[in-house]
């Protein structure tokens, strides 16, 4: 995990703000160019726009993660055999501990603004999900209250004729009636059910009932109910954006236009079907949806005039030209999306910086840390000089030291080879996981295990982990060292300890 959830959400939200608008603009232009062609082509354009509206912002949000994973995979073998050592000179190590390790290409937002954006987005998503669940409940209730029309000979004859014309298995279709609905609609993905108003069954003009049932059977033929649920789930994540609402509305409208075209092509004459649509609208003036999101039906789009005009107008493009135009418009829609993904920016919250401390106190603490580090280095240097002199003066001691170093090197090689075979995440990934838990400068990272059966052979209960040492930058630990053990198999955090609380033992 290379980025925090806040960075992913902020990057998604802010980039989606202009990327979805760009996708909707190009989809509108493409749909306008296809205005003289079949409505199903325009429907495909708007469906593609919905998927791109979610796919492009998500890609740009997680793109840093993908780059980091590829980079980690390329450097896995190298990093497993060596420790991560600080690259700064000693004089700059302590100074760098007071600096926050922020990504150079991420734009920082104030925490207040970032939290407001994320909270507002989550509220909109939860509200949209609540409406979807409520609509689903209303739809289930309408289905349970509907009465089957399996004994109606007139309805059975119309359904059989329509199913034969469009190629739908009549045995898989159930027709019901309800006195609580005003317009016909279809629900059910595996076992579709058509619900028609009770007053429509008493209609003296059989063409109106045929139009209504034929239209719903076309929805079943196209599997519009299942697709509509998929679109609604995609829309949940985009429901905060007005352009996404436009795309969803255009999907519904072009879906109804596509069904109208198929009804006029395979079931009824276009003029007769158009007249039936007008009559249906006069019997139900509102021509509104019963359920906003969980049904499909003849009243899904409030564009009656456009539907009638579309039925009476013939397409002016031949099939070959239609395909060429559709291919060109697909490229017209895809190329700007790729460009939008390439120029997307990253955003993150401003961390709680140590600069909020008193500058005088910060300078005093920094000097104390520097003095303590210099004293430690001086003591270690004195010990090194004593050891060096003894090695030069005593050949037997020198031979013993070399023998121990050789054995230690061989043992380390065996251990690292065994660990490299077991570890599933790279050292870079472990560092990224650790720094997502604790901000600071990484001083060291080792790959190790808790138990060994013998040199180079892990015990059955052994845990393979990375131990990452991070110099803190916040005012809680005052620049102290935090030790984080990261599971090398699944990336989970095994243990986290501060320098003063750390015990000299490995995680059990």
pTM above 0.75, yes or no: no
Dist CA 504 CA 376 (whole Å): 19
pLDDT of residue 245: 93
Nearest to 280 by CA among 214, 192, 189: 214
68 and 2 in contact (C-beta within 8 Å)? yes
What is residue 152's three-state secondary structure? coil
For the segment 476-483, the average pLDDT, to the nearest whole number, is 67
- 93, pLDDT greater than 50: no
Residue-by-residue DSSP string for 211-225: HHHHHHHHHHHHTHH
For the segment 14-24, the average pLDDT, to the nearest whole number, is 89
- 108, pLDDT greater than 80: no
Give the percent of the chain with pLDDT over 90. 14
pLDDT of residue 76: 36
pLDDT of residue 320: 63
- Structure tokens, 350: 């401003």
- 318, pLDDT greater than 80: no
491 and 465 in contact (C-beta within 8 Å)? no
For the segment 170-188, the average pLDDT, to the nearest whole number, is 86
pLDDT of residue 326: 66
Report whether CATH 3.10.450.40 matches the domain 394-498.
yes
Kindly report which listed range (136-150, 187-201, 250-264, 406-420) carries the lowest average pLDDT score.
Answer: 406-420
pLDDT digits (tens, 9 = 90+) for 251-298: 999 999 999 889 988 888 888 888 888 888 776 654 444 445 577 777
223 and 187 in contact (C-beta within 8 Å)? no
- 189, pLDDT greater than 70: yes
CA distances from 16 to 142, 346, 422 (A): 37, 12, 40
pLDDT of residue 323: 65
pLDDT band at 368 (very low <50, low <70, confident <90, very high): confident
186 and 216 in contact (C-beta within 8 Å)? yes
Pick the most confident of 74-88, 113-127, 204-218, 454-468: 113-127
Dist CA 13 CA 270 (whole Å): 45
What is residue 189's three-state secondary structure? coil
pLDDT of residue 315: 57
- 182, pLDDT greater than 90: no
For the segment 347-376, the average pLDDT, to the nearest whole number, is 68
Residue 128, C-beta contacts closer than 8 angstroms, at least 6 positions apart: 235, 236, 239
Q: Where are the domains of the chain?
A: 124-316, 394-498
For the segment 121-145, the average pLDDT, to the nearest whole number, is 89
pLDDT digits (tens, 9 = 90+) for 191-243: 899 998 888 887 667 888 888 899 999 999 999 999 999 999 999 999 999 99
- CA-only gyration radius of the chain, Å: 34
Dist CA 244 CA 395 (whole Å): 80
Residue-by-residue DSSP string for 474-496: STTTTT-EEEEEEETTT--EEEE
């Amino acid at each position: 995990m290379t980025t925090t959830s806040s960075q992913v959400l902020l990057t998604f939200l802010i980039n989606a703000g202009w990327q979805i608008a760009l996708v909707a603009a190009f989809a509108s232009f493409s749909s306008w160019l296809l205005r003289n062609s079949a409505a199903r082509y325009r429907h495909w354009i708007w469906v593609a726009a919905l998927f791109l509206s979610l796919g492009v912002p998500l890609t740009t949000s997680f793109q840093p993660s993908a780059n980091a994973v590829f980079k980690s995979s390329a450097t896995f073998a190298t990093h497993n055999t060596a420790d991560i050592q600080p690259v700064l000179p000693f004089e700059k190590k302590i100074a760098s501990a007071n600096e926050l390790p922020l990504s150079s290409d991420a734009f920082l937002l104030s925490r207040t603004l970032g939290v407001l954006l994320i909270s507002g987005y989550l509220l909109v998503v939860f509200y949209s999900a609540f409406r979807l669940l409520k609509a689903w409940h209303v739809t289930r209730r309408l289905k349970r209250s509907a009465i089957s029309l399996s004994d109606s000979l007139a309805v059975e004859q119309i359904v059989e004729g329509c199913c034969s014309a469009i190629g739908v298995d009549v045995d898989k279709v159930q027709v019901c009636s309800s006195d609580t609905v005003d317009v016909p609609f279809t629900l059910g993905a595996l076992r579709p059910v058509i619900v028609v108003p009770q007053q429509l069954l008493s209609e003296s003009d059989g063409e109106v009932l045929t139009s209504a049932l034929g239209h719903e059977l076309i929805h079943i033929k196209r599997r519009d109910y299942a697709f509509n649920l998929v679109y609604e789930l995609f829309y949940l994540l985009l429901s905060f954006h007005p352009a996404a609402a436009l795309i969803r509305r255009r999907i519904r409208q072009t879906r109804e236009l596509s069904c109208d075209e198929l009804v006029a092509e395979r079931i009824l004459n276009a003029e007769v079907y158009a007249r039936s649509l007008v009559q249906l609208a006069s019997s139900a003036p509102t021509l509104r949806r019963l359920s906003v999101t969980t049904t499909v039906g003849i009243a899904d789009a409030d564009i009656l005039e456009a539907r009638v005009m579309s039925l009476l107008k013939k397409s002016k493009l031949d099939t070959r030209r239609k395909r060429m135009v559709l291919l060109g418009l697909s490229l017209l829609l895809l190329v700007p999306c790729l460009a939008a993904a390439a120029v997307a920016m990253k955003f993150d919250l401003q961390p709680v910086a140590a600069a909020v401390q008193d500058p005088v106190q910060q300078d005093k603490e920094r000097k104390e840390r520097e003095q303590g580090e210099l004293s430690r280095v001086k003591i270690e240097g004195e010990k090194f000089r004593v050891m060096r002199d003894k090695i030069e003066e005593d050949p037997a001691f020198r031979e013993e030291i070399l023998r121990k170093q050789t054995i230690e090197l061989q043992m380390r090689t065996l251990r690292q080879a065994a660990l490299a075979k077991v570890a599933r995440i790279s050292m870079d990934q472990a560092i990224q996981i650790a720094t997502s838990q604790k901000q600071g400068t990484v001083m060291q990272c080792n790959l190790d295990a808790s138990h060994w059966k013998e040199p180079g052979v892990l015990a059955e209960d052994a845990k393979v982990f990375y131990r990452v040492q991070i110099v803190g930058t916040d005012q809680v630990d005052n620049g102290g060292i935090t030790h984080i053990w990261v599971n090398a198999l699944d990336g989970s955090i095994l243990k986290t300890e501060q320098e003063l609380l750390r015990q000299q033992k490995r995680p059990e």
